[in-house]
Chain A
Amino acid sequence: MTSRAPIIQLRDVTKTYGAGSTAFRALNGIDLDIKAGEFVAIMGSSGSGKSTLMNILGCLDSPTSGRYLFAGCAVEGLSKEQRALIRRHYLGFVFQGYNLLARTSALENVELPLLYRGMSRGERREQARRALDAVGLLPWRHHASNELSGGQQQRVAVARAIATSPRVLFADEPTGNLDTKVSREVMELITDLNRTQGITAVMVTHEPEMAGYADRIVTVVDGTIASDSRRRGDGVESEVA
Chain B
Amino acid sequence: MLWNALTIAVREIRRNLLRGFLTVLGVVIGVAAVVIMVSLGQGATESVTSQVESLGSNLIMAIPGTGVGPSGGSAPGFRLSDAEEIAAGVSGVRAVAPLRMVGAKAVYLQEDWSTQAVGTTVDYFSVAGWAFAEGRPFTEAEFVGARPVCVLGNTVVSELFGQQDPVGARIRLKGLTCEVVGVLAAKGQGAMGQDQDSVVVLPLSTVQRRLAGRLGDRDVDRMMISARDGVSADRVVRDVTDVLRDRRGIRAGEDDDFSVLDTKEIADALSSTTKILTYLLGAVAAVSLLVGGIGIMNIMLVSVTERTREIGLRMSIGALPREVLLQFLVEALVLSLIGGLVGIVLALVVSYVLAQAMGIPYIIDPRINLVAFAFSAAVGVVFGYAPARRAARLDPIEALRFE
B317, A61: Cβ atoms closer than 8 Å: no
A55, B397: Cβ atoms closer than 8 Å: yes
B15, A87: Cβ atoms closer than 8 Å: no
Residue of A whose beta carbon sits closest to that of B309: A99
Partner of A115, one of B4, B15, B310, B320: B4
B8, A115: Cβ atoms closer than 8 Å: yes
Tell me the total A-B contact number using a CB cutoff of 8 A: 63
Cβ contacts A to B, 9 pairs, < 8 Å: A61-B397, A80-B321, A88-B317, A89-B318, A92-B317, A97-B309, A99-B400, A103-B15, A104-B11
A103, B317: Cβ atoms closer than 8 Å: no
Per-residue CB contact flags for chain B residues 309-323 toward chain A (1 = under 8 Å, else 0) read 110111111111111
Most chain A CB atoms below 10 A, which of B314, B318, B396, B400: B318
Partner of A85, one of B7, B318, B396, B397: B318
A93, B316: Cβ atoms closer than 8 Å: yes
Interface residues of B in 255-314 (CB under 8 A from A): 309-310, 312-314
A87, B309: Cβ atoms closer than 8 Å: no
How far apart are the CA atoms of A141 and B92 in the complex, in Å?
88
Secondary structure at the B interface, as helix, strand, loop or mixed, is: helix
Partner of A112, one of B1, B317, B396: B317
10 A-B pairs with the lowest CB-CB distances in the bound complex, closest first: A88-B318, A99-B313, A113-B317, A87-B318, A103-B15, A84-B320, A116-B318, A93-B316, A60-B397, A116-B319
B318, A113: Cβ atoms closer than 8 Å: yes
Residue of A whose beta carbon sits closest to that of B7: A115
A61 contacts across to B, CB distance below 8 A:
397
A81 contacts across to B, CB distance below 8 A:
320-322
How far apart are the CA atoms of A42 and B394 in the complex, in Å?
27
Query: Does B16 count as interface, using CB distance less than 8 angstroms?
Result: yes
A116 contacts across to B, CB distance below 8 A:
4, 314, 317-319, 323
Known contacts A116-B4, A116-B323, A84 near B315 by CB under 8 Å: yes
* Chain B residues in the interface with A (C-beta under 8 A): 1, 4, 7-8, 11, 15-16, 309-310, 312-323, 396-397, 400
A60, B317: Cβ atoms closer than 8 Å: no
Interface size on A, residues (CB 8 A): 29
A99 contacts across to B, CB distance below 8 A:
309-310, 312-313, 400
Known contacts A61-B397, A99-B400, A84 near B319 by CB under 8 Å: yes
How far apart are the CA atoms of A112 and B324 in the complex, in Å?
13
B4 contacts across to A, CB distance below 8 A:
115-116, 118
Shortest C-beta distance, B35 to chain A (Å), equals 33
Query: Does A102 count as interface, using CB distance less than 8 angstroms?
Result: yes
Per-residue CB contact flags for chain A residues 154-170 toward chain B (1 = under 8 Å, else 0) read 00000010000000000
Query: Does A148 count as interface, using CB distance less than 8 angstroms?
Result: no
A104, B397: Cβ atoms closer than 8 Å: no
How far apart are the CA atoms of A91 and B320 in the complex, in Å?
15
Residue of A whose beta carbon sits closest to that of B16: A103
Query: Does A108 count as interface, using CB distance less than 8 angstroms?
Result: yes
B15, A112: Cβ atoms closer than 8 Å: no
A87, B317: Cβ atoms closer than 8 Å: yes
B15, A104: Cβ atoms closer than 8 Å: yes
Query: Does A101 count as interface, using CB distance less than 8 angstroms?
Result: yes
Shortest C-beta distance, A203 to chain B (Å), equals 16
Residue of A whose beta carbon sits closest to that of B8: A115
Most chain B CB atoms below 10 A, which of A84, A89, A104, A160: A84
Most chain B CB atoms below 10 A, which of A91, A113, A160: A113
Can you add 8 more A-B contacts, CB < 8 Å, to A60-B316, A116-B318?
A: A58-B316, A81-B321, A84-B318, A87-B316, A99-B313, A101-B310, A116-B317, A117-B318
Shortest C-beta distance, A14 to chain B (Å), equals 17
Partner of B400, one of A95, A108, A118, A160: A95
Shortest C-beta distance, A73 to chain B (Å), equals 16
Residue of B whose beta carbon sits closest to that of A161: B317
Interface residues of A in 51-71 (CB under 8 A from B): 55, 58, 60-61
How far apart are the CA atoms of A92 and B318 in the complex, in Å?
9
How far apart are the CA atoms of A97 and B1 in the complex, in Å?
29
How far apart are the CA atoms of A116 and B323 in the complex, in Å?
9
A58 contacts across to B, CB distance below 8 A:
316
How far apart are the CA atoms of A102 and B16 in the complex, in Å?
10
A91 contacts across to B, CB distance below 8 A:
318
How far apart are the CA atoms of A80 and B359 in the complex, in Å?
64
Residue of B whose beta carbon sits closest to that of A95: B400
